[in-house]
Structure 1
Amino acid sequence: MRPDDARPSGRGSRLATGLVLLGLVVVSVNLRPAITTVAGVMNQVPGVFGVDPSLLPLLGTLPVLAFGISGPIGPWLARRLGTGRAVAVALLVLAAALIVRATVPALLLPGTFLAGMAIMTSSVLVPQIVKANRGTGWWTGLCTMGFGLGAALGAGLVQPLEQAFGGSLPSALAVWAVPALLGAFLIHRSGGRPTAAPTAASRAASYAAHTSTGAADVFTPLRKQRTAWAVTAFFGLQAMLYFAITSWLAVYLVSRGLAPADAAALLAWFSLAGLPASLLAPVLAGRPGILRIMAPGLGLSVAAALLGVLMAPVELQFVMVGILGVVQSAGFGLAMALVVIRSDGPQSAGRLSAMSQGFGFALASLGPLGAGLLHAMTGGWEVTFWVLAAEAVVLAGAGFFAIRGPLVSVEAAEATETAEATETETTEEAAPPEQATAKATVVR
């Protein structure tokens, strides 16, 4: 073969890789507008959709609750359809939920819950696709930045879109189904390679290979792997802090004397300031020397930034809120990166992602509630901020343990189970006829 003959193949490979990355970024951008669009027009929802104002807190909580219970759906769907197709199906469901909840007022709450489930299903598979394609920290960084960009676009464009559609809020909410459909098309075409569970024969071969190296005795179920729980704790604690901050920061700033419009602008600044950090944190985490400092250091930095927002004069809140946005977004970027870095294969990354995001978002749903209760009980914000800072210190501890210990592995454990099952079947087939007949009689 001439050298020139190999070039198209190389270009094709780079093009395919670029399409996978593009699909992942578009998917990531779609995983927040369903939440932030409604949050940005919450005061209009009762009049437009006929929702009882007392149900508005439930409307804000439903997506997080959906996150907490739907984590296992992603890996289950990926084993049957392939990861890319599973994400595409989830985005199609997201698009349908966005349209239905906007056009049928009675389905606003169920549609929001369904959208949250679709978002979670897609979200847990993003690290699995990154791992399967041997993506670098830049891949994870671009995806986490896509999350933040989607949140900012959803909150910032909903009112201009409403005006563009002649004052129709349902149209401004439903139009976000279009980028969801685009994401489904891109990830289906470029990330659709199957990631179904290996066959019994391949798992048995994997088990035999591990046994020959003496590693068979280290296979441990995911729920018993300390690294998995440390990564889950890190993800959950940073998510709890994020939702508590975004739910109450503007209210706190108004209590300090800022106008509501200025407080809302600072909340938007909190998200925008963190975009570069969410991109760079996974890249830096790929360097072991930096990771050893970053994992616990970010928790301590969030604690310091929270106390800075509490104690700084109003004139410095722009700076302090910006710093808080940087370290908080870096924490999310690192949480996503840890799922990739601390797993030993694509399936392990998918299962760890489901575990960390499932349990993590269930824990995160307590953040806004807990912060609000502390404020109501004390009548001020000092205790709330000090408790959140203490939680950030615990986050530092979780980061410390997340980067130590063995990598998370489920492929090996599944290989062990399948090999044992295969060995049992083989033994039964080789048994004398009278023994086989006796066993069959017992089964009947």
Structure 2
Amino acid sequence: MEEIPHAPRGRPRTPAASKLAWALIALSLVSINLRPAITTVAGSMGQLEQRLGISAQTIPLLAALPVLAFGMSAPCGPWLARRLGAGRAVALAMLVLAVALTARVLLPVLMLPGTFLAGMAIMTGSVLLPQIVKANEGTGWWTGLCSMGFGLGAALGAGLIQPLQRVLGGSLQGALAMWAIPAVLGAVLILRHGGRRTEPLDPGASVLPARAFAADGSTAGAGARPRAARSVRLQRTAWAVTAFFGLQAMLYFAVTSWLTVFLVSKGLTAGNAAALLAWFSVAGLPASLLAPVLASRPAVLKIMAPGLGVLVAAALLGVLAGPAELQFVLVGVLGVVQSAGFGLAIALVVLRSAGPQTAGKLSAMSQGLGFAVASLGPLGAALLHDVTGGWDAAFWALAGVAMLLALAGYFAVNGRIVSVEEGTVPAGEARPAGVGS
């Protein structure tokens, strides 16, 4: 993405800043496309049986299929990137997403396979975003805008389904399929502006960008020593990042699945409870943007990674104990800290990776295994509610998960940089007690 120093005469040169700006726009649009396929269906659950002929027994599967697809298809992203390049792989995923979104509503018999295919496309794009950010040497603002795009896409998908349906004369099929348009646009933009060399660098050159942090919090740079490539699954920091991603996702899915039911039990109307769920997403948008920016400072990262887990635990217990009149504030606070956790999880993949190839593999590992763990959140909360007949045990258990999140954050930022590329690592890279590579 850098300016070519000796372009032919008479041929205008595109400034590097302009190229990077277009790459950032492309990444942001792709990230916005990675949630509406799920939230549009969630926002129209009550109409699927009547409008599309989806059986009542099939509808619950629609909530489980995307998460299942996430866990199964995470390795597809790095595999495609090695063969097509990261930009082309994401563009292909967006085109597949557009086809799946259209096919599943034009032919209702394809609703389940189309939703699963959409989930696979979403995960492929999601896994490769950190790799493209790393390849473009993107700052914390890049990661923040991408993570905010996830939340914005989720809110737009749920919030626009009814207005779009009215604009299209009551057509639910049209309102659901409309999201294929931004998916195609995202494919075009990422294909044209999101590509950059992501192959392994020359073995004699350092693969650590200026903003990669060593275990002692210093930036990696001069005085490097050779190290051979290692599997990402043999490195403890990779497992800590994976644990952080999975635990924050487990908390998110548990809260979004059962928050409205809990709020109704507190005395709120179903309509107000649904509005607070939307507020939960909207309140967190700024946090998902700013968390990666703040995390780009090593001193802040050291505190933020474990500290967010503690804040999430406190916010969960606040929602549990707070009266109905204060739930607007309490749910908003919970939305802020949980969205910050997601932004930090994406940022950790970038910050704790030695180079683009590592970022892709770490992203696949953290999101693939992470979402598999996350699927236990809604189920566990429901089981505890059914066994105890109330929500106290479920919320205390989730608070306990949040404390594990704090522990995972501590090890994620105090371990060695993750590297699968043959290259060099910092000579002064320390190994804190109990944290290996």
Instruction: Give the TM-score, by structure 1 length.
Output: 0.87
Contact 2:73 2:124 in 1 (8 A): yes
Aligned position for 1:352: 362
Structure 2 residue aligned with 1:254, among 246, 259, 264?
264
Alpha-carbon deviations, 1:191-239, whole Å to 9, x = none? 12343456xxx45x569xxxxx994566432111000000000000000
Aligned position for 2:148: 145
Give 1:54 shift. 2.2
What is the identity, as a one-letter code, of the residue corresponding to 2:258? W
Measure the CA separation in 2 of the matches of 1:292 and 1:405. 11
Distance 1:90 1:217, change over 3 A: closer
Measure the CA separation in 1 of the matches of 2:104 and 2:384. 33
Distance 1:320 1:214, change over 3 A: closer
SS in 1 for 2:15: helix
Instruction: Give the TM-score, by structure 2 length.
Output: 0.89
Give 1:53 shift. 1.2
Aligned position for 2:51: 48
Aligned position for 1:434: none
Aligned position for 1:431: none
Give 1:49 shift. 2.1
Structure 2 residue aligned with 1:189, among 173, 187, 192?
192
Aligned position for 1:411: 421
What is the identity, as a one-letter code, of the residue corresponding to 1:67? F
Contact 2:136 2:196 in 1 (8 A): no
What is the identity, as a one-letter code, of the residue corresponding to 2:172? L
Measure the CA separation in 2 of the matches of 1:220 and 1:103. 46
Distance 1:194 1:134, change over 3 A: closer
**1:217-296 superposed matches below 5 A:** 219-296=229-306
What is the identity, as a one-letter code, of the residue corresponding to 1:102? V
Aligned position for 2:133: 130
Structure 1 residue aligned with 2:77, among 71, 74, 78?
74
The structure 1 segments of at least 4 consecutive aligned residues displaced by more than 2 Å after TM superposition are 192-198, 213-220
Measure the CA separation in 2 of the matches of 1:129 and 1:21. 10
Measure the CA separation in 2 of the matches of 1:220 and 1:190. 31
Q: Could you say which structure has the larger radius of gyration?
A: 1
Measure the CA separation in 2 of the matches of 1:311 and 1:285. 31
Pairing 1:388–2:398 present: yes
Aligned position for 1:94: 97
SS in 1 for 2:166: helix
Pairing 1:317–2:327 present: yes
Measure the CA separation in 1 of the matches of 2:152 and 2:37. 13
Aligned position for 2:312: 302
Distance 1:82 1:12, change over 3 A: same
What is the identity, as a one-letter code, of the residue corresponding to 2:379? L
Give 1:369 shift. 1.0
The structure with the greater share of residues assigned to helix is 1
Pairing 1:378–2:388 present: yes
SS in 2 for 1:53: coil
SS in 2 for 1:54: coil
Give 1:186 shift. 0.2
Aligned position for 1:109: 112
Alpha-carbon deviations, 1:408-438, whole Å to 9, x = none? 0011289xxxxxxxxxxxxxxxxxxxxxxxx
Aligned position for 1:433: none
Q: Which runs of 5+ in 1 are unaligned?
A: 208-212, 415-444
Contact 2:205 2:423 in 1 (8 A): no
Contact 1:81 1:196 in 2 (8 A): no
Alpha-carbon deviations, 1:78-109, whole Å to 9, x = none? 11111110000000000000000011010001
Distance 1:89 1:214, change over 3 A: closer
Alpha-carbon deviations, 1:111-156, whole Å to 9, x = none? 0000000000000000001000000000000001111000000000
Measure the CA separation in 2 of the matches of 1:404 and 1:69. 29
Give 1:56 shift. 1.9
Contact 1:34 1:154 in 2 (8 A): yes
Pairing 1:180–2:186 present: no
What is the identity, as a one-letter code, of the residue corresponding to 2:293? V
Give 1:405 shift. 1.7
Q: Which runs of 5+ in 2 are unaligned?
A: 207-222, 425-437
Give 1:406 shift. 1.2
Aligned position for 1:166: 169
Measure the CA separation in 1 of the matches of 2:57 and 2:250. 23
Alpha-carbon deviations, 1:317-367, whole Å to 9, x = none? 000000000000000000000000000101100110000000001111111
Superposed CA RMSD in Å reads: 2.1
Measure the CA separation in 2 of the matches of 1:218 and 1:245. 42
Does 146-155 or 368-377 show the bigger shift? Answer: 368-377
Contact 2:132 2:196 in 1 (8 A): no
What is the identity, as a one-letter code, of the residue corresponding to 1:305? A
Contact 1:250 1:263 in 2 (8 A): yes
Pairing 1:62–2:65 present: yes
**1:23-34 superposed matches below 5 A:** 23-34=26-37
Measure the CA separation in 2 of the matches of 1:242 and 1:63. 15
Contact 1:239 1:360 in 2 (8 A): yes
Percent of paired sites with the same residue: 67
Contact 2:227 2:423 in 1 (8 A): no
Measure the CA separation in 1 of the matches of 2:353 and 2:130. 10
Contact 1:80 1:196 in 2 (8 A): no
Alpha-carbon deviations, 1:271-315, whole Å to 9, x = none? 000000000000000111111110000000000000000000110
Give 1:157 shift. 0.2
Measure the CA separation in 2 of the matches of 1:47 and 1:67. 28
Contact 2:38 2:66 in 1 (8 A): yes
Measure the CA separation in 2 of the matches of 1:129 and 1:74. 12
